[in-house]
Structure 1
Amino acid sequence: MSIEQLAETAQAMVARGKGIIAIDESTSTIKKRFDSVGIENIEENRRAYREMLLTTPKLGDHVSGAILFDETLRQKTADGTPFVEVMKKAGVIPGIKVDKSTHPLAGCPGEVITEGLDGLRDRLKEYYRLGARFAKWRAVINIGDDIPSGTCIEANSHALARYAALCQEQGLVPMVEPEVIMDGSHDIQTCYEVTEAVLRSLFGALYEQNVMLEGTILKASMVVSGKDCPEQADVEEVAEATLMCLKSTVPAILPGIVFLSGGQSDEKATAHLDAMNRIGNLPWPLSFSYGRAMQSAALRIWAQDMKANVARAQETVYARARDNGLAALGQWPGADAA
């Protein structure tokens, strides 16, 4: 695939008023979500749940793409239609999570490295053949006493860059996700400094690996106070700090930035995105790539009756997509109440 085609896909992923729904939970992660609402974690229930999400009427009005798990990319609806075909018909671009999760980083207590580069080229070839047109790799950066270390930041940046280069080689737009974790008692200034260091390292590594930024999407965490910090930054502080950090680190040629919710409440994730877009004057579109913040309310409804409540759950999915789509335009009507 040419860089023009990669750039076209990347631009479609951040189309005006649209964002990404992340439904790429691993089997163990979806088990935690299912356990919380009393659903058995079996393949058929996972398939039925993802079908409910992906067949939401008018989903493509506010959702440009969906990140899938390996199992989900291969699944079909109850009537035998491949999920990929359902998505294409709705105007939703199929994406795929390709990392193999985090593992302890040797020599760096309390820090982790994301693995999965071995065999990635062949997996990407298969994913492209199955219909995926973008991929995602998540790195995890913890904040704590004397961490993150430069070693951790550089190791994860290098892995993200190698993954991104392999994606583009195989015709997939890489979504690079260096998540700075909210857990901890650190203040917003500490989060800013860590996020800035991580993004500077990331874009340096992407440059060194000859990754074409015009065919790349950044999935970023917002600059927020740690969950246990006694002084929580308000919506405007988060919006201003996040934008300042991004403007100082992210090249303008990037097609767009999507945010992870990272454990924020549904409403806070939407309010922060809306506030950033209200400030405006940005070199790139800012949108969403939310998982829990798009799904949690719908999952609770669906779990009450997995057959009778499909339509009600889908109404909630659409409402969350619509709210976040409006926030991507700086037009979320709930801003005054947030």
Structure 2
Amino acid sequence: MNKKILTKTVARLMKIPKGILAIDESLNTSAGRFLKLGVPNTEEKRREYRELLITAPKIEKYISGYILFDETIKQKTVDGKSFVSILNSKGIEIGIKVDAGTTDFSNHDGEKITKGLEGLSERLKEYKKLGATFAKWRAVYTIGVHIPSFDCMKVNAEIFAKYAILCQENDIVPIVEPEILIDGNHTLEKCYQVTARNLEMVFAKLKDANVFLPGMILKTSMVISGKESKEKSSPEKVAEITLRCLKEHVPEDIGGIVFLSGGQFDLEATMNLNAMHKNNFLPWPLSFSYGRAIQNPAFKSWAKNPNDVSGAQELLLQSAQNNSLASIGKYK
């Protein structure tokens, strides 16, 4: 583990007002999105769309890193340039999703654990040769009457720790993403309680495994009520309770924190991020790592008119700029 390499990569990724763009949708997720808008879900169509995202002019003004999928990190533009080389030329860090999705947690109804540790060290070495400097691993937690359980949080936290230390041994910065799903009718307070307990568990296991905290990034959900809840909170309230949770349960020496949008409406994710940076002292760099919340306008435009690539790229740039402004509290 080269701590100097890890901290330098973190510094480049957390260079505010930039954020991280997630374009790491799995084949199943891509299929759902493409078919919903009538786009054929072929490898070529996926490549074509990702080329649009990767070649967007001046995107590097607002984005410090791209999280790619296994298929994407090996793809090229129509004229034969590798996606990795294009991102490198823009000074954008190459990230890779390395988990293999979730599976049912045995004897725990409604709960999931993340798979993909088998062969991970070898895959990380391969991705490093391809140019990756950081990686991402996601676990998901549903809020219900008796879930997430202690066991579910413990097992996923232990898996996070194994993943993170393998990354750091290969000088790859691990992004740890414990996502509290927006599904359900839970209250803001319930989300706070679950998020707090889970973060405590995650960082306890990371410390037990001697993960180098300044050389990693937390990708976390905001503390918000469930999408079926009647309780709707203002951006100011979301910011207040989220920052309280993070300040109380995330170590100050972590490399940085980025938010996932997690099913929020595009504008909602931007407004909530913006409120986090209004007159608040933050002990760590805090930015965004959005997928759909940045991609949506561009994706819909491209699906409607695949020939108007520049038009879709302008929409992508606008979304990225909006969230860049929000990362310093200047979005209006």
Q: In the alignment, what sits opposite 1:328?
A: 327
Identical pairs, percent = 50
CA distance in 2 between counterparts of 1:255 and 1:318 reads 26
Code of the residue aligned with 1:245 in structure 2: it is C
Q: Which runs of 4+ in 1 moved over 2 A?
A: none
1:23 Cα deviation from its structure 2 partner: 0.3
Code of the residue aligned with 1:193 in structure 2: it is Q
CA distance in 2 between counterparts of 1:177 and 1:94 reads 17
1:232 Cα deviation from its structure 2 partner: 1.3
Q: In the alignment, is the contact (CA less than 8 A) between 1:195 and 1:245 conserved in 2?
A: yes
CA distance in 2 between counterparts of 1:322 and 1:302 reads 19
Q: In the alignment, what sits opposite 2:243?
A: 243
CA distance in 1 between counterparts of 2:266 and 2:285 reads 21
Instruction: Please give the per-residue CA displacement for 1:188-210, whole angstroms capped at 9, x wherever unaligned.
Output: 00000000001000000100111
Q: Give me the CA root mean square deviation.
A: 0.7
Q: In the alignment, what sits opposite 1:336?
A: none
TM-score, structure 2 normalization: 0.99
User: Which stretch of structure 1 is more off in the superposition, 42-51 or 271-280?
Assistant: 271-280
CA distance in 2 between counterparts of 1:304 and 1:238 reads 34
Q: In the alignment, what sits opposite 1:44?
A: 44
Code of the residue aligned with 2:137 in structure 1: it is W
1:279 Cα deviation from its structure 2 partner: 3.3
Partner of 1:278, secondary structure, is coil
CA distance in 2 between counterparts of 1:4 and 1:198 reads 29
Code of the residue aligned with 1:109 in structure 2: it is D
Q: In the alignment, is the contact (CA less than 8 A) between 1:273 and 1:286 conserved in 2?
A: no
Residue 83 (structure 2) pairs with residue 54 (structure 1): no
Partner of 1:248, secondary structure, is helix
Q: In the alignment, what sits opposite 2:65?
A: 65
Instruction: Please give the per-residue CA displacement for 1:270-305, whole angstroms capped at 9, x wherever unaligned.
Output: 000010011321001111100110111111100122
CA distance in 2 between counterparts of 1:141 and 1:279 reads 31
Q: In the alignment, is the contact (CA less than 8 A) between 1:104 and 1:110 conserved in 2?
A: yes
Q: In the alignment, is the contact (CA less than 8 A) between 1:3 and 1:215 conserved in 2?
A: yes
Q: In the alignment, what sits opposite 2:308?
A: 309
Partner of 1:178, secondary structure, is strand
CA distance in 2 between counterparts of 1:313 and 1:188 reads 35
Q: In the alignment, what sits opposite 1:285?
A: 285
Residue 81 (structure 2) pairs with residue 81 (structure 1): yes
CA distance in 2 between counterparts of 1:147 and 1:322 reads 37
CA distance in 1 between counterparts of 2:295 and 2:142 reads 25
Code of the residue aligned with 1:309 in structure 2: it is D
TM-score, structure 1 normalization: 0.97
1:89 Cα deviation from its structure 2 partner: 0.8
1:211 Cα deviation from its structure 2 partner: 0.5
Instruction: Please give the per-residue CA displacement for 1:18-68, whole angstroms capped at 9, x wherever unaligned.
Output: 000000001110011101111000011000100000111000000000000
Q: In the alignment, is the contact (CA less than 8 A) between 1:191 and 1:224 conserved in 2?
A: yes
Instruction: Please give the per-residue CA displacement for 1:101-160, whole angstroms capped at 9, x wherever unaligned.
Output: 010000111100000001100000000000011000000011001111000000111111
Instruction: Please give the per-residue CA displacement for 1:163-182, whole angstroms capped at 9, x wherever unaligned.
Output: 00000011110000000011
Q: In the alignment, what sits opposite 2:143?
A: 143
Partner of 2:80, secondary structure, is coil
Unaligned runs of 5+ in 1: 334-338
Q: In the alignment, what sits opposite 2:174?
A: 174
Query: Would you say how many aligned residue pairs link Structure 1 and Structure 2?
Result: 332
Unaligned runs of 5+ in 2: none
CA distance in 1 between counterparts of 2:329 and 2:280 reads 8
